[in-house]
Each structure stands twice: as C-alpha cells, then as structure tokens.
Structure 1
Amino acid sequence: MTAPATPSFPARPSLSSLSSPSTRFPAVVSRLRAAGCVFAEEEAELLISTARTPADLAAMVDRRAAGLPLEHVLGWADFCGLRISVDPGVFVPRRRTEFLVQQAAALAGPGGGVVVDLCCGSGALGAALGAALDDVELHAADIDPAAVRCARRNLAAAGGHVYEGDLFDPLPATLRGRVDILLSNVPYVPTAEIPLLPPEARVREARVALDGGTDGLDVLRRVTGEAAQWLAPGGHLLFETSERQAPEAVETASRSGLLPRAVTDEDLYATVVIATRPPVPTP
C-alpha cells in the first residue's frame, strides 16, 4: 500500500535553550524507571522533546509516574506515521491496529471512496486511511463525547465529518448503501477480563471503549447486523478481534449475510476480519 503521509507539525522549542537535557535526562529516566516504566529511556526522550518548559517537563513526568498513559501525558500517539491527538480518558490507538489500516488501504485502492470509521475513538483509523488514499469521503462516529472532540481535531485536515451517537444511529441516512470501507474497531474484551487489563487501560481509558460484553462480541453483533444496509455492493467491513474470538466473529459476520475472512499478522499479534457485502449479480 501507499505509505501514509506524515503531516508537518509546528516545531516545539528545544529544552536545550532552557536547561541542559544531558543533565536532566538521567533524573527523568530514574524517576520513570522507579515508577515501573519498562522503556524509561525512550519515554524520557519523548517527554523531553514534547515539553515546552522545565516546569512543563516536571509536570509531565509527575503524571506519567502516577500511572497516566504516556500518550495521555504527551497529548498524542504515534499511529501509522501520524501524530494523533489523544486526550485523557480517550482510547489510545494500538500499534497492532495499524494492520487493520493496511488491509483497508489495500482494499480501497487509490480512489478511496466513502469511508466510515465507526467506534472511532480518537479517529486514528480514519485519519490514517485518509492520509494513505488520494480521495476519500470520510465519516466517523463514537458514543463518547470526549472521543468525538478528539476525532474532530484529528480528522479536520482530511475534511472528515464526525458524529456523536451510538454506532450507526448518528450517521446521515444518505450514506446507506454507499459505504465502500467500514472500519469498526469495536470493543472486544470480555467483561470478566476487564480486571486483568493493565491499569493504564483499565483505569485510564473509557470502559465503553474496552468492554465487549460477556464473550466480547456483543457490540460486534450489533455492527454486523446492520452493516449490509450501509455497505455498497462489494463494500468491506473491517474489524479487529482476538485470535481466540476470530472463528465466532467470522461466523457472526456470515450470519449477517456478509462474506468474511480472517487475516493475521504474527509480528503485530493482530487479527482482522474482513467481511464483504456480496456484489450485485450481473444480469
């Protein structure tokens, strides 16, 4: 696929003009390491390069040491080469989900067409796919107001339209039967497994972005149940799931009249189901 374009961002003032990073770096690393940050050196570099003042850096280190996800401290996450704005409480896009974007871009081709990012969170998937394709009509929706605010910032450059509401409910009716690519990174963690998640996710991210119900597939069933009404003939629904859940997820999509297949990336530990609306038969 065409590599996603990397947008330019305003240059941030260097802390070297404020205090010496070489003298502050060991102290920052030690503080992060003591707080249990496995990649303390890498995180310190990111914090130092992002902070605008020494006071800003100190506050950021304090927040990170207190357990706030790194991306929430920085205010952004690196996803598909883009800097995605991520506010506190909003689901942080995972690196494994880049595989879903790669699959979507390969299916869309250079033209893009109509793309909907459902359960969009920060809008990372829509932003990345929009950056990878030449011409996209981009829409996104999420039930979480904080996520919607984030997504509107992240999709503004691509001219994306972001709606607040439950799944398909807030989408314009004019999209019915026109969607070429439907991205739906639904929550798929079984309810009973939520307490097993790392605190950064369990405590700091919205539960609605994580909890997929008893078997983790409750939200997915709702999406697949309506997807065929929104997809164009030959259009594709793509969603992430776990390797363990993939067989049932595929069956769920099949029962909804879609033609599903599962693809995996072992390096990213990613499993994606691609479910296609059958094309209209040629007379």
Structure 2
Amino acid sequence: MTTVTDPHPDPAIVARLRAAGCVFAEDEARLIAEAATDADQLDELVAKRVSGLPLEPLIGWAEFCGLRIRVAPGVFVPRHRTEFLVEQAVALAAPDAVVLDLCCGAGAIGAAIASRVGDGVELVACDIEPAAVRSARENIEPRGTVHEGDLFDALPVSLRGRVDVLAVNAPYVPTEAIALMPPEARLYEPAVALDGGADGLAVQRRVAAEAAAWLAPGGSLLIETSGEQAARTAALFEEAGLLVRTVVSDEYDTTVVVATSSR
C-alpha cells in the first residue's frame, strides 16, 4: 500500500472511491491520505468515505475562501456558493467594521470576512447548535467571539445597534424538500441547519423581525436565499423597514439579498 505521505494517491484507493460514486476520487484519496496518521487509519477513513460519510468531517476541514475551516462530524459543511455572500460582505465592510456571523455553523463566513478585511474587524458569531459552536470557536477564537443560542438571543445586549455587516446563512430549504437533498447533507448534517420550515422562510422571518434593531446606522444585512425564494426574502426585509437589493451570481449559482438600515 502507498504510504500516507506519498503525494500520489494509491490507485486501489482511487478505484474504491470512484466505485462509491466519488466524482473527484483522486483529489479525495490525496486528502484522506494527508489526514491519516498511519496505514490503519487510512484504511479506516477510506472505508468510512466509501460507506457514504462526507469527506470534510472525515479529514477535519473544508476549504472555503482559501481557508481551511475546521469541521467536526455533525456540523454543517460550508458551501462554495456562499463565498459569493462573503465577497459582497467584504465590499461593504470598513477596516474597523463590527461583523456578525448569524447562524454561523462552523464560522466560515465570519472567519473569511475577517481574513479579507483585516485585524481591525470586531468579529462576533453565534449558532444554536452546540457542535457547530465548538467548531466555530476553533475557527474564530481568539480572533473573535462565538456565542451559543437562538439567533439574536445569543448575543450580548452591548452589540445591539452596532453591527455594520450582518452576514446570515440561515436554513432556507422547505421541510418537504430536505428528502430531495444529497445524502451527505440530509443524513449527516443537523436538521436545524437545513430545515427552513414549510416554505423555507421560517428562520428568515425571525431574522427580519429583529435585524433592524441590531444594525448600526447604515449597516447592512446579507442573507443567502434561493432564486425561487428571493422575491419573498426581499419582501420580508422591506417590511422590516430596510432598504433592499438582490444580487445574483451565475458563477456561484447563488442569490443574496442585501438589506441596509436607513437610519
């Protein structure tokens, strides 16, 4: 068997991964070998991947905006499409911005924004899922602070009215559509990170109801949504008194609603 330090993936491992339906079998074989400490662990990791476990929790990290984001089993894996939200947020963030990563998961969005804007950013993140909070703390602290709790209830009152950039990747998949998601998501990621309620907008409604009070004058909220839901997402934040625009990326195949405080 090829040693775990060999940069060339073992053809037998590549074949096993390819037979299991892994599209990027060679890349995955290389990453799994990098994560393994010995041949026995390599065999164990390959077997788990072949059985259907997602790659990122197996190797312990996900690539996002050029960063290695620590991801533990049972934590939502950041998607590359969300990098578009980061790009939009960075364009709005001053060097000393207060940045809030709401529904932060592993903290990928907040970590990426802070890495691109600079050390002057005051970074805060929160999530309701304990495993996600643990991963987020690995990725964000001591650079920023991570709180555990339900949306804005998790945050210190001192943050109210001070947030310049509020980045949100709240769940927006309609409950019935979760059964149609890839097994790596629906079987191995927490339902709380996927389920947006009957129409996919349940959590977005709750965010919209309170967001304006947490934004600084001129501050902006950015929230990922689907193309089909974008008009309804925008309406939620317009009804909350925010100035709304929608930005779409064909490259990332994603849609982001930007809602700005008019104060």
What is the match of residue 146 of structure 2? 162
CA-CA distance at 1:47 after TM superposition: 1.2
Q: 1:240 to 1:18 in 2, by over 3 A?
A: same
1:152 has 2:143 as partner: no
1:272 has 2:217 as partner: no
Return the letter of the residue paired with 1:146: A
Query: Secondary structure at 1:249's aligned position in 2?
Result: helix
- Aligned-residue CA RMSD (Å): 1.6
CA-CA distance at 1:52 after TM superposition: 2.1
Query: Secondary structure at 2:213's aligned position in 1?
Result: helix
What is the match of residue 25 of structure 1? 10
What is the match of residue 128 of structure 1? 112
Q: Distance in 2 between matches of 1:42 and 1:59?
A: 18
1:247 has 2:227 as partner: no
Q: 1:276 to 1:62 in 2, by over 3 A?
A: same
TM-score (norm 2): 0.96
CA-CA distance at 1:18 after TM superposition: 4.2
Return the letter of the residue paired with 1:253: F
**Pairing 1:186-201 to 2, within 5 Å after superposition:** 186-201=170-185
What is the match of residue 47 of structure 1? 32
What is the match of residue 219 of structure 1? 203
CA-CA distance at 1:21 after TM superposition: 3.7
Count of aligned pairs: 262
Q: Distance in 2 between matches of 1:22 and 1:277?
A: 51
After superposing the two structures, state which structure 1 stretch, 20-29 or 221-230, moved more: 20-29
**Pairing 1:96-135 to 2, within 5 Å after superposition:** 96-109=81-94, 111-134=95-118, 135=120
Query: Secondary structure at 2:10's aligned position in 1?
Result: helix
Percent identity, aligned pairs only, is 57
Return the letter of the residue paired with 1:80: C
Return the letter of the residue paired with 1:26: P
Which 4+ stretches in 1 moved above 3 angstroms?
Answer: 16-24
CA-CA distance at 1:113 after TM superposition: 1.3
What is the match of residue 95 of structure 1? 80
**Could you list the runs of 5+ residues in structure 2 that have no partner in the other structure?**
none
Return the letter of the residue paired with 1:266: D
Q: Distance in 1 between matches of 2:4 and 2:52?
A: 26
Q: Distance in 1 between matches of 2:86 and 2:160?
A: 22
TM-score (norm 1): 0.89
Deviations 1:220-276 (A, max 9, x none): 010011000000010000110000000110111100111111101101101111100
